[in-house]
Structure 1
Amino acid sequence: MLSVLAVLAAALLFGTTGTSQALGPEGTTPLSVGVMRMVIGGTVLAAIAFTLAARYRRNQPHSPRLGIRPLALMVLTGASLAAYQPLFFLGTARNGVAVGTVVALGSAPILAGMLEWALTRRRPTATWMLATGLATVGVVLLGAGGEAGTGGGTDPMGLVGSVGAGATFAVIANAQRRLLDAGWDPFTVVGAMGACAAAIFACALPFVDIGWLAEPRGIAMALWLGLATIGVAYVLFTWGLSGLTAATAATLTLAEPLTASILGVVVLGERLSPLAVTGLVVLAAGLALLALGSRAPRDPGPFAVEA
């Protein structure tokens, strides 16, 4: 159950991203905010995680040795984390924030489950399928309700971007699961991801306008997005993943749009349509079902070994 709570806490932190950006200074762009978020967050994430990993290894004398396969998986997680943001922003730019967000987040658990099924040959159980179905329907209703009266959008490139963002998250969850199964501690795994992602986005700094950092609100926003929504959130997520399957963790992160919607109403004064409210209820039901079905850490978990 602690693993479930850790992933849910991470999702709550992820869900503050949009509100934090909305409360930031004028002149920001999604790309510039995303770059600073990853440079700060990835660096802090690596520092925290590698410190915890060193302590962990002192109690684990038989740590696995770094080879080509684990190194490739670690680089893959960092590259996937770096790729998530431009793909996500492509989806929201072409189809709107609500549609782009729900397609990205709604596709992530489905793609994670399918990828894990293909890699492990383990068949999803009825509980996981029902919980994921409810949660996915919930975010779709939430997005449709949020876009009521605007006409929505189904631009093909935007859909590709959103689904691609969901796919990168599915790759991260499954790659980390493989590393954990191979004996790597969760802190080394997430630290490597943060370091790689920070290095990639540091190369993009000369090409984005970060003049808004001169304002106190800009610094506060960048620090919150980097420290809380990346540094702390991904440590919690990866620690929780050590007790869950990739598919379960990805579904639990659907609490992110739930958090974002509540913050939008309470903090930003947004109004939800009846359809969006229905989506929140369905989403909450799916998350509750999945949490109840995940009380035993990874056994039996959401997957049953196929006979």
Structure 2
Amino acid sequence: MKDKLSPFLILLAAILWGTTGTTQAFAPETAHPIAIGATRLAVGGLFLIVVVLIIGKFDFKNWPIKTTILASLSMALYQPLFFSAVSITGVAVGTVVAIGSAPILSGIIEWLYLKVRPSKVWWCSTFLSILGCLMLFSNKESVNVDPFGILMALGAGLSFAGYTLISRTLVEKHSSISVVAIVFTLSAIWLSPLLFIFDMSWIMSLQGVGVSLQLGIMATGIAYLLFARGLKNVSSSTAVTLALAEPLTAALLGVFLLEETLNITSWIGIFLLLLGIGILMWTPKKSDSENEIMLAQKE
């Protein structure tokens, strides 16, 4: 039963991530996107640490320090790389390259690292989802392809793919909540200098507090906890493809809450995204790729 629920947990995590853009739209004007990203990790890490202390789930026995540091660095790097890419090359191009490259990079890393070739179902689903993502953002703005911005976006995609693969190895031997609590607390520490660089006065307002709590607790703490639990029974490449539900959620929230409009191409993109994710969700669990992963881990 848990195996069947795992893809839905990852999908729910992606939906929570998709609320990030809408939440940021309600942030005070003085809030810099990178400062919001750093605050998000700080609040999320603190929230998870408190939850772990309350339920008594801390267990440092045989804890892999190097792996944990790599996971935390991957998540910490993702925040400034993504926000920098968006600011340099635009929201549409930056988002599509960062989020769209993550599944492909994850599949390549999984192929090289675990010696496992992603399944045909994964390739089909990922192709449809990325194509849908491209079409979804086609009407957002005029295309501004800045080479440095593209490089930053690819770095963000690689960081998220790396975080997913590394976290999967951690949650196999340790409780999900302990993993995300430690990883996100470390990530917040790596990014803490940013809190002294940018103007943080906005966080003292009622609006700033609300945005920080929503992003930190719901879109980070709870979302990544769900993601980590799902990773126990889902391959990293599959998880990253399912995470493409994030831009889908963001687009729909923009339409219904921020009164944004989508053209016919974007609606077709939404359909393709839903189709790609649906194929991955309702394919029999024991795909060739995931069976091979299990064999590789046993060897």
Q: TM-score, normalised by structure 2?
A: 0.91
**Residue deviations 1:164-216 (CA, integer Å, cap 9, x gap):** 101001001111122234x2332222222111112122232221111112321
* 1:50 CA drift (Å): 6.0
Query: What is the alpha-carbon distance in structure 1 between the residues aligned to residue 17 and residue 254 of structure 2?
Result: 14
Give the equivalent residue in structure 2 for 1:262.
252
Which of 4, 8, 16 lines up with 1:5 in the alignment? Answer: 8
Displacement over 6 Å in runs of 4+: none
Residue 228 of structure 1 aligns with which residue? 218
Q: Which residue of 2 aligns with 1:130?
A: 124
1:45/1:230 contact within 8 Å kept: no
Normalised TM-score (structure 1): 0.89
Conserved? CA contact 1:50–1:191, under 8 Å: no
Aligned to 1:115: 109
Given the alignment of the two structures, is residue 145 of structure 1 paired with residue 139 of structure 2, yes or no? Answer: yes
User: Deviations for 1:139-168, whole angstroms, at most 9, x for unmatched residues?
Assistant: 111122323xx2x11100100111110100
Return the match for 2:275 from 271, 285, 289: 285
Instruction: State the alpha-carbon separation in 1 of the partners of residues 218 and 280 from structure 2.
Output: 25
Query: Is 2:23 aligned against 1:20?
Result: yes
- The reply on whether 1:163 has 2:154 as its aligned counterpart is yes
Q: Deviations over 1:218-239 (max 9, x none)?
A: 1101111111111111101001
Q: CA deviation at 1:107?
A: 0.6
**Structure 1 residue 51: deviation in Å?**
5.3
Question: Structure 1 residues 243 and 305 mapped into 2: Cα distance closer, same or farther (>3 Å)?
Answer: closer
* Contact 2:136 2:270 (C-alpha < 8 Å) held by counterparts: yes
Displacement of 1:283 in angstroms is: 0.6
Q: 1:108 to 1:257 in 2, by over 3 A?
A: same
Q: Given that residues 15 and 259 in structure 1 are in contact (C-alpha distance below 8 angstroms), is that contact kept between their aligned partners in structure 2?
A: yes
Q: What per-residue deviation string (whole Å, max 9, x for no partner) do you get for residues 44-74 of structure 1?
A: 133335655728x6xxxxx9623xxx21111
- Equivalent residue in structure 2 for 1:244, among 209, 234, 242: 234
Identical aligned residues as a percent = 36
In structure 1, list runs of 5 or more residues that go unmatched.
Answer: 58-62
How far off is 1:304 after superposition? 5.1
CA distance in 1, matches of 2:179, 2:56: 9
Amino acid at match of 2:28: P
| Equivalenced residues, count | 291
Q: Which amino acid aligns with 2:16?
A: L
Q: Does 1:85 align with 2:76?
A: no
Q: Deviations over 1:114-157 (max 9, x none)?
A: 1011111111111111011111111111122323xx2x111001
Superposed, 1:41-80 pairs within 5 Å as: 41-49=44-52, 54=57, 65-66=62-63, 70-80=64-74
Which of the residues 37, 41, 54 maps onto 1:38?
41
Q: In the aligned structure 1, how far is the partner of 2:53 from the partner of 2:80?
A: 27
Please give the root-mean-square deviation of Cα atoms over the aligned residues, in Å.
Answer: 2.0
Distance 1:3 1:305 in 2: 18
| Letter in structure 1 aligned against 2:62 | R
Alignment of 1:188 onto 2:178: yes
Shift of residue 25 of structure 1? 1.9
Cα distance in 1, alignment partners of residues 7 and 291 from structure 2: 19
| Structure 2: distance between partners of 1:129 and 1:255 | 16
Cα distance in 2 for partners of 1:10, 1:190 equals: 13
The 8 Å contact of residues 104 and 166 in structure 1, kept in 2 or not, is answered as: yes
Q: Measure how far apart 1:301 and its partner are.
A: 6.2
Q: Contact conserved, 1:6 with 1:240, CA < 8 A, in 2?
A: yes
- SS of the aligned residue for 1:93 comes to helix
- Structure 2 gaps of 5+ residues are none
